[in-house]
Amino acid sequence: MRVALAVPAVGQEAPTTAPRTVSWYADNPQARARVQLACLDDPGRLGSNPDCINAHQASVEVALRNARARTGTLDPRNPAFWSNDPETRRSKLIMCRRNPELANCDAAKRSLMVEAGVAQR
């Protein structure tokens, strides 16, 4: 599969091909990687190209998807966040014992209660 960037050569008109979207690049990893390689190789000319920007943003989106899949959630207000990292939860609960006003203390404690079977998700 060959992917061409929609970048005009010096002195040429803008191409008629519309740039690909972030979601398209997120779903097409080989094309995304090829575009990113081209953009990294010539940032002076391609740095502000919509395909370069969209391919880069798609990499960020894919990384977030993968992180969410590994951890279940990236939201510390969600008890599942704390269940996926018991060491961090332990540290958080120790800090919460000293200062109950800290953010997300309830979610960290609730995650432990869910695991203990005394609360439901």
Q: What is the mean pLDDT of residues 39-58?
A: 93
Angle at 45 between CA 40 and CA 47, to 5 degrees: 50
Per-residue confidence band for 11, with pLDDT thresholds at 50, 70 and 90: very low
- Check residue 84 and give its pLDDT: 77
Q: In the chain, what are the domain boundaries?
A: 22-71, 79-116
List pLDDT tens digits, range 78-92. Answer: 998 888 788 899 999
Quick one: how far is CA 32 from the chain centroid? Answer: 15
DSSP element (H, E) containing 17:
none
Q: Would you say residue 105 has pLDDT above 50?
A: yes
Rounded CA-CA distance 8/74 in Å is: 40
Q: What is the mean pLDDT of residues 13-39?
A: 85
